[in-house]
Amino acid sequence: MAPALRSFASTDRFIAEISSPASPSIRAGYVLIGDEIFLYDRCRRAVLSTLVPEGARDFALHDLDLAETSIFEALDRAQTPSLMAPFQVLFLRNLKTLYGRGSKKEEFAAIEAYFRSPNPQALLLFVADHIRIPTDLRRMDYQDKERFERIRETLGDWCGTVELARVDENDAIRWVTDTAESRGVRFDPDAARELVDSLGADMMLISSEFEKLLLYVSAPASNGVILTLSEQSESKGENLSSLPGAPHQSPAEPLARNRVTLGDVETMVLAAKQRSLYELTDAISAKDRPRALALLHGLLNASDGGEDAAIGHLYMLARTFRQMLIILEKNVRDSRAIWQALWQGFRMPPFAAEDLIRQARRYKSRRELTRALRLVARADLELRSSPANKLLVLERLILDLATEPKPSAYEPSHQFAMEL
């Protein structure tokens, strides 16, 4: 049996404790601390499947927001037995409202009074998702650490604590391969690592893309790579139509591969494609012309449209240089500040934040980045004019971007041809 994953240890203990309403280890309340949504959903599903029957959820399950419902009302609801359900579960979101301005002595006194004599037919689950717990606790933000300790000091005597920390990359890779194996699919180790790396170990994104990949490789193949039943039979010298129970002249269904390869991840996961783009901008910002050209050719070879996808690549290049321009202008120095500098819809994937900050800091001034945008705009205009050789246009662009600009006697305009 494979060893348990360390990142899942806290949620595994919680799930074991709530295995039954009559379990002697179950507590009257728990605090789910952390913003890892994947682990929170795992805990919630376990609670619902164990303690809340499907047909009784309208009466047994209560999702309350402490910003809208007072803690007194929530505790009163927990203390009052339900006539329609044998057991009640209350999820109390926005726990941070109990730790805002003011002493909140009355609120904590009411909580203490409830837990001194709790309703054995109710479970309280406080959700503290305003705290971020990193994989390495030593790197936890000082403010988050203070909030964490205050919750433990006030609720720790009465409630169990479930830490929803960010999942370690190696544990995420193990989860991908083990979960795929349990569902009859082989997930190649290099494919699992690429999936986790490209999504920055964000388990919600990983689980979503994981399901998509499993559907992709489990569906009947139609690309001719996988042998059909008839082809396999012919290779063995068998006649499929003569087999017992075989339908007369019925086309055979192609077999699924049930294996996820690195190529599948690069084909199906957008972030994996974007990784190559950020590697390209890394080579450009480092003025490494041979590597930049090699990465350009790799990017085109991996594209479904080849050179015909060139305008899409130019759009992503322009977008990336605009992101770097904002990072440079706002003097962003860490990944946490980048989410304030870049607005929703204009942010990069989590895995690229640190890389893009490093790349932006290689440029000495705003002028260099606006020059790069002008070069991309000029190449875009050339491509839309149906040039004889699109690859030549792209190669010249990459060489120009990866070359130190020549000093000019005049101040160039900061306006460029088009807004990409």
Give the pLDDT score at 310. 76
pTM equals 0.63
Residue of 200, 171, 133 whose CA lies nearest to 356: 200
Give the pLDDT score at 305. 53
Give the pLDDT score at 136. 82
Give the pLDDT score at 204. 86
CATH of domain 271-401: 1.20.272.10
Give the pLDDT score at 418. 43
Give the pLDDT score at 224. 42
CATH of domain 169-221+256-268: 1.10.8.60
303: left (phi over 0), alpha (psi -120 to 50) or beta: beta
What are the extents of the domains in the chain?
Answer: 7-163, 169-221+256-268, 271-401
Decide whether 169-221+256-268 matches 271-401 in CATH topology: no
Hey, which CATH number is domain 7-163, 3.40.47.10, 3.30.110.60, 3.40.50.300, 1.20.140.10? 3.40.50.300
Give the pLDDT score at 271. 61
Give the pLDDT score at 85. 80
Strand 88-93 and strand 122-128: the pairing is parallel
Give the pLDDT score at 221. 54
Give the pLDDT score at 223. 45
Mean pLDDT by runs of 10 across the 420 residues of the chain is 76 89 82 92 92 82 91 92 84 90 87 93 93 85 90 90 91 94 92 84 86 85 42 42 44 64 78 74 93 86 63 84 92 80 73 86 91 93 87 92 74 44
